[in-house]
C-alpha cells in the first residue's frame, strides 16, 4: 500500500509536466527568495541588522545543514544556542525556530521532492494532519512553563540516542525500506504521533520530526536514509503551521523578525545541502552524525543549564523514565514483529 501511494504520487506529478521542469523548481525559488530579500533589506534599510543579530546567521549556517541532514530539525541547533548561549527566552527561541524552519526545511522539502529522494507519503500525510491539531493545542492550551522546555528537549533526545545506539550497534537489526500492510491501524498510530509531536514542537520549535523518526526507526526498523527526508518534510509542514499561528493569530513574533531576516539567506541553501549530503551517505554515517549532535546537546545542557530545585529534577527524571519505557516498548515491538515474520 505504501509503494502504491508513492507510485500514484509520482504519476500525478508526471501528468502536470512535472518531470520536464522539476530540476528547475528549487534554483528558481532560491533566486526569487534572494531577489525579494535583497529588495526588502535595501528599501527598508535593514542591512545594519547584521551588526547586532549576526549570531543568528552564524548559528543557522550549521543549524540549517542539520535541519536538512537529520531528523533533529534546525530548531535542535537554534533552540539550545538561543536559550543557553544567547540567553534568549525559550518562547522566542521556539518562535524563531518555527519561522526559520518554514523557509529552510521548506526549501529542503522542495529539494527532496524534486530530486526524488525517497520518502513515505502516507506517513507524511497522517503525521502532518495530527501535527496541525497538536500544534494548536500546544500553542494555546498545553503550554509547558520555563525552564522545562529546554531541559526536557535535551533529556528526551538523549534517551532516544541511547535507544538508537542499542538498536544499531548492539541488536544490529537490518533496516527495512517500507511499511508493509498499510491500513487504518497505521493511520491512527501516525496521526496520534503527529498530535503528540505537534504539542512538543509548539513548545521548543521542533520535535515532531524526531518523534516520528523514533517510531519509524525503533518500532518499524525503517532505514534512516528514508526516515530522515520523510521527517524533514513533516517538520517543514508543522513549522508553517507554527509560523502562521505566531505571525497571524498570536502576533507575538516581535524582535524575532530581526533574527529571522539575517538568517533566511543562509537556510534556503544550507538545509537543501544537508538533504543532498545525507542522500549520498551510508546509514551508519547518518546515525553517527545524529548521535554526535545528541551528545553535544546533552553536554551543553549539563554545563550551561543549572537545576534550581528538586521539582525540576523530578519532572525531568519522570519525563526521561516515560520516554525510556516508550523506547523500550518500541524496540520490543520491533523484536516481536521480526520473530513473527520469520515464522
Give the number of other Cβ atoms within 10 Å of residue 252's Cβ.
13
With 90 as the cut, is the pLDDT of residue 134 above it? yes
Region for residue 251 given its phi and psi (left: phi exceeds 0; alpha: psi -120 to 50; beta: otherwise):
left
Q: Are 193 and 215 in contact (CB under 8 A)?
A: yes
Tell me the pLDDT band of 9, cut-offs 50, 70 and 90.
Answer: low
Q: What's phi and psi for 251, nearest 5 deg?
A: 50, 50
**Set of cell numbers at residue 197:** 509531536
Output the pTM of the full model.
Answer: 0.86
With 90 as the cut, is the pLDDT of residue 1 above it? no
Tell me the pLDDT band of 210, cut-offs 50, 70 and 90.
Answer: confident
29-79 residue pLDDT tens: 999 999 999 999 999 999 999 999 999 999 999 889 888 887 777 766 787
Distance, in Å, from the CA atom of 67 to the CA atom of 60, rounded to the nearest integer, reads 9
Q: Are 312 and 148 in contact (CB under 8 A)?
A: yes
Number of domain units in the chain? 1
Distance, in Å, from the CA atom of 135 to the CA atom of 238, rounded to the nearest integer, reads 8
Q: Which residue intervals of the chain are DSSP H helices?
A: 2-15, 18-43, 49-69, 75-80, 90-114, 121-140, 148-165, 184-204, 208-214, 224-244, 256-280, 283-304, 310-342
| Highest mean pLDDT of the ranges 13-17, 92-96, 148-152 | 92-96
86-126 residue pLDDT tens: 888 888 999 999 999 999 999 999 999 999 999 999 999 99
The boundaries of the domain holding residue 161 are 2-342
With 60 as the cut, is the pLDDT of residue 23 above it? yes
Amino acid at each position: 500500500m505504501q509503494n502504491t501511494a508513492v507510485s500514484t504520487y509520482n504519476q500525478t506529478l508526471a501528468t502536470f509536466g512535472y518531470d520536464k521542469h522539476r530540476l528547475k523548481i528549487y534554483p528558481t525559488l532560491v533566486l526569487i527568495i534572494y531577489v525579494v530579500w535583497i529588495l526588502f533589506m535595501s528599501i527598508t534599510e535593514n542591512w545594519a541588522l547584521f551588526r547586532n543579530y549576526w549570531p543568528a546567521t552564524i548559528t543557522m549556517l550549521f543549524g540549517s545543514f542539520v535541519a536538512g541532514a537529520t531528523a533533529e530539525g534546525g530548531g535542535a541547533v537554534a533552540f539550545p544556542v538561543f536559550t543557553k548561549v544567547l540567553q534568549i527566552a525559550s518562547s522566542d527561541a521556539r518562535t524563531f525556530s518555527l519561522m526559520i524552519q518554514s523557509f529552510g526545511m521548506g526549501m529542503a522539502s522542495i529539494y527532496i521532492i524534486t530530486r526524488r529522494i525517497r520518502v513515505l507519503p502516507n506517513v507524511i500525510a497522517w503525521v502532518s494532519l495530527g501535527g496541525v491539531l497538536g500544534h494548536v493545542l500546544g500553542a494555546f492550551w498545553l503550554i509547558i512553563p520555563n525552564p522545562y522546555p529546554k531541559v526536557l528537549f535535551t533529556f528526551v533526545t538523549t534517551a532516544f540516542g541511547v535507544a538508537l545506539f542499542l538498536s544499531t550497534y548492539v541488536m544490529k537489526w537490518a533496516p527495512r525500506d517500507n511499511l508493509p500492510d498499510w491500513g487504518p491501524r497505521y493511520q491512527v498510530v501516525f496521526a496520534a504521533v503527529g498530535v503528540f509531536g505537534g504539542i512538543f514542537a509548539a513548545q521548543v520549535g521542533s520535535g515532531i520530526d524526531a518523534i516520528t523518526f523514533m517510531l519509524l526507526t525503533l518500532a518499524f526498523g525503517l532505514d534512516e536514509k528514508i526516515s530522515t527526508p520523510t521527517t524533514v518534510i513533516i517538520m517543514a509542514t508543522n513549522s508553517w503551521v507554527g509560523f502562521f499561528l505566531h505571525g497571524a493569530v498570536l502576533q507575538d513574533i516581535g524582535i524575532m523578525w530581526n533574527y529571522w531576516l539575517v538568517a533566511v539567506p543562509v537556510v534556503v541553501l544550507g538545509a537543501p545541502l544537508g538533504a543532498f549530503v545525507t542522500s549520498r551517505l551510508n546509514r551508519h554515517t547518518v546515525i553517527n552524525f545524529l548521535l554526535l549532535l545528541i551528545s553535544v546537546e546533552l553536554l551543553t545542557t549539563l554545563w550551561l543549564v543549572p537545576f534550581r530545585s528538586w521539582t525540576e529534577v523530578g519532572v525531568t527524571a519522570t519525563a526521561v523514565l516515560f520516554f525510556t519505557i516508550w523506547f523500550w516498548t518500541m524496540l520490543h515491538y520491533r523484536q516481536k514483529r521480526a520473530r513473527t515474520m520469520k515464522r
